[in-house]
Chains A and B, each alone.
Chain A
Amino acid sequence: MNKLIYLDNAATTKTAPEVVEAMLPYFTENYGNPSSVYSFASGNKDVITRQREIIADTLGANGNEIYFTAGGSESDNWALKATAEAYGNKGKHIITTKIEHHAVLHTCEYLEKQGYEVTYLDVDENGIVKLDDLKAAIRPDTILISVMYANNEIGTIQPIQEIGEIAHEKGILFHTDAVQAFCQVPIDVDACHIDMLSASAHKLNGPKGIGFLYIRKGVKIRSFVHGGAQERKRRAGTENVPGIVGFGKAVERAAASLKERTEKEIELRDYLIGRIGAEIPYSRLNGDRVKRLPNNVNFSFRFIEGESLLIKLDMKGICASSGSACTSGSLDPSHVLLAIGLPHEIAHGSLRMTLSEETTKEDLDFVVDSLKEIVQHLRNMSPLYEDFIKKQSKRQEEK
């Protein structure tokens, strides 16, 4: 059996051992409910407050602007639905993009059914929102702009500061889904005029099932879960203390290593992009070459289909993901790859590899060597490749 090479860190990451260690006492020893009066339990209230501060510090925010949730999807749902509800009397128009995560897109579709109007902005061939399009889409009844910080599939980082400035100038709330970007790129909510921001712990070596929504002080946003007084009465339910502690530890760890870690990842990412581009013909890098998450590589290989590629890679111990229809459970390939203008057949042949701090150059060499072999094997089986080669040799003869 080959060594496991895990290149799907945009899907989820390994919980860091020190994170698990920090969490453990909150299961078996300090298990008290933070809302209880006795000192055995109420100490946990301070523990939670401390984690809020750790997280807020990385964003230039205040601890009381961090609201814990069950993860990124809940945060996105909350931001959109509660804003729509709270500001519905001001207007019913929301602006977002075609490349958002489904947690945003499907929530927008739900809001459309509730009588809201949503503009889905196009992106350019690298997946970047065009600011002129955004400006043109703004109407007097626009209440919210929601643009992801960085894309989960192609890694493209949006001009968040410019978008925030436009929103701020027009007095429109600005939400960003930063699930992929948080602790991968430095974020300053004030400089970028971000009013709400979603993030999740398990993307940065924290545990699953815990996330937060940053809500700027002054933004009136309704309760998402009704019940107890937790999370400043906005999200009821006994706090997930171990999860929150794990999240705090993961953020502390990721924030401390941010510069060094991402510099190393960028070097490896560019090495991988360079080798694939040079050694595998008819391949195409998806997403912006520079404005890109440090750990994201996304290629399309013409004439082959993504699921086949993933199974072949799996046989070699390599974990990755694809935007092909077969892996999405629908007949259409990834909406992100279609939005950047890829034809269906090329979108079907996409491969996303997302690195971690543990990825080594040797791993990537093995991956590229395996990929070369697998891509050629699948192309030899592909009628599209056969037609392409025949067409080419015919052209050669004509010359």
Chain B
Amino acid sequence: MYTEKVMDHFEHPRNVGEIENASGVGTVGNAKCGDIMRIYLDIDENQIIRDVKFKTFGCGAAVATSSMATELVKGKNINEAMQITNKAVMEALDGLPPVKVHCSLLAEEAIHAALWDYAEKHDIKIEGLTKPKSDIHEGEEEEEEEY
């Protein structure tokens, strides 16, 4: 059901992890639908993405699209990173099954959310960037159940 590239990125995801004191962090998706992506960006003074890490809760496609998205934005400046669409992520993975296209949208949104966070922190405006719509903390209930 998945291409070799998707399987490769699922099996060996690139850039998994966290960045302490990241320049920007974005989390999108929600647990209800079964996909959450978080992207950490380390952006230097020239607005170049020096490092990027991700964490994802989700299916094989969700992991693979996050991994590919981090590869695509690494080393780019923030305006170039803005140009990376879900289509680019999908093409780089040689395609996704139709029911998994939303995973690539989530990857694009996660990048945008991290850039938004960076822009807010540095009080700058990034061309074409709007406030991310999905946020995992929306309507979140404190869960106290113990296992």
A283 to B35, CA, bound (A): 19
A383 to B33, CA, bound (A): 15
A281 to B10, CA, bound (A): 24
A304 to B36, CA, bound (A): 10
Q: Would A331 and B60 count as touching, CB distance under 8 A?
A: no
**A386 cross-chain contacts in B, Cβ below 8 A:** 18, 38, 55
Chain B contacts with A in 1-40, Cβ cutoff 8 A: 10-11, 13, 16, 18, 27, 31-38
The interface on chain A, measured as residues whose beta carbon lies within 8 A of the other chain's beta carbons, has a size of 29
Chain A contacts with B in 329-344, Cβ cutoff 8 A: 329, 331, 333, 343-344
Is B129 positioned at the interface, with any CB of A under 8 Å from its CB? no
Q: Would A383 and B57 count as touching, CB distance under 8 A?
A: yes
Q: Whole-angstrom distance from the CB of A341 to the nearest CB of chain B?
A: 10
Q: Would B31 and A384 count as touching, CB distance under 8 A?
A: yes
The residue of chain A having its C-beta at the shortest distance from the C-beta of B141 within the complex is A343
Chain B interface mostly: mixed
A348 to B30, CA, bound (A): 12
Q: Would B59 and A308 count as touching, CB distance under 8 A?
A: yes
Q: Would A329 and B99 count as touching, CB distance under 8 A?
A: yes
The residue of chain B having its C-beta at the shortest distance from the C-beta of A343 within the complex is B143
Q: Would B55 and A383 count as touching, CB distance under 8 A?
A: yes
Q: Would A311 and B99 count as touching, CB distance under 8 A?
A: no
Q: Whole-angstrom distance from the CB of B54 to the nearest CB of chain A?
A: 8
Is B63 positioned at the interface, with any CB of A under 8 Å from its CB? yes
**B132 cross-chain contacts in A, Cβ below 8 A:** none
User: Known interface pairs A383-B36, A383-B37, A386-B18. Does A308 touch B58 (Cβ–Cβ under 8 Å)?
Assistant: yes
Q: Whole-angstrom distance from the CB of A388 to the nearest CB of chain B?
A: 9
User: Known interface pairs A302-B147, A308-B60, A380-B16. Does A333 touch B34 (Cβ–Cβ under 8 Å)?
Assistant: yes
A324 to B58, CA, bound (A): 10
Q: Would B34 and A348 count as touching, CB distance under 8 A?
A: yes
Q: Choose one: B55, B59, B143, B147; the contact of A382 (CB below 8 Å).
A: B55
Q: Would A311 and B57 count as touching, CB distance under 8 A?
A: no
Q: Would B34 and A324 count as touching, CB distance under 8 A?
A: yes
Q: Whole-angstrom distance from the CB of B107 to the nearest CB of chain A?
A: 14
Is B86 positioned at the interface, with any CB of A under 8 Å from its CB? no
Is A38 positioned at the interface, with any CB of B under 8 Å from its CB? no
Q: Would B57 and A305 count as touching, CB distance under 8 A?
A: yes
**A345 cross-chain contacts in B, Cβ below 8 A:** 31-32, 34, 57
Q: How large is the interface on B (under 10, 10 to 19, 20 to 34, 35 or more residues)?
A: 20 to 34
**B143 cross-chain contacts in A, Cβ below 8 A:** 343
Chain B contacts with A in 103-117, Cβ cutoff 8 A: none
User: Known interface pairs A302-B147, A308-B59, A384-B57. Does A348 touch B31 (Cβ–Cβ under 8 Å)?
Assistant: yes
Q: Would B60 and A381 count as touching, CB distance under 8 A?
A: no
A129 to B105, CA, bound (A): 41
Q: Would A284 and B34 count as touching, CB distance under 8 A?
A: no
**A247 cross-chain contacts in B, Cβ below 8 A:** none
Is B70 positioned at the interface, with any CB of A under 8 Å from its CB? no
Q: Whole-angstrom distance from the CB of A398 to the nearest CB of chain B?
A: 15
Q: Would B34 and A383 count as touching, CB distance under 8 A?
A: no
Q: Would B32 and A344 count as touching, CB distance under 8 A?
A: yes
Q: Whole-angstrom distance from the CB of A381 to the nearest CB of chain B?
A: 5
The residue of chain A having its C-beta at the shortest distance from the C-beta of B2 within the complex is A311
A306 to B14, CA, bound (A): 21
A305 to B37, CA, bound (A): 12
Q: Choose one: B16, B18, B63, B147; the contact of A283 (CB below 8 Å).
A: B147
Q: Would A311 and B55 count as touching, CB distance under 8 A?
A: no
Q: Whole-angstrom distance from the CB of A330 to the nearest CB of chain B?
A: 9
Q: Which of B18, B31, B33, B36 has the most CB of A within 10 A?
A: B31
Excluding A308-B58, A325-B33, A381-B63, 6 further A-B contacts by CB distance (< 8 Å) are A305-B35, A308-B10, A382-B56, A383-B27, A383-B37, A385-B57
**Mind listing 28 A-B residue pairs with CB under 8 Å?**
A283-B147, A284-B147, A304-B57, A305-B58, A307-B59, A308-B58, A315-B11, A325-B34, A326-B34, A326-B58, A326-B59, A329-B99, A331-B34, A345-B32, A381-B13, A381-B63, A382-B36, A382-B55, A382-B56, A383-B27, A383-B36, A383-B37, A383-B55, A383-B56, A383-B136, A384-B31, A385-B57, A386-B55
* Among all A-B residue pairs, the 4 with the closest Cβ atoms: A345-B31, A307-B59, A326-B59, A383-B38
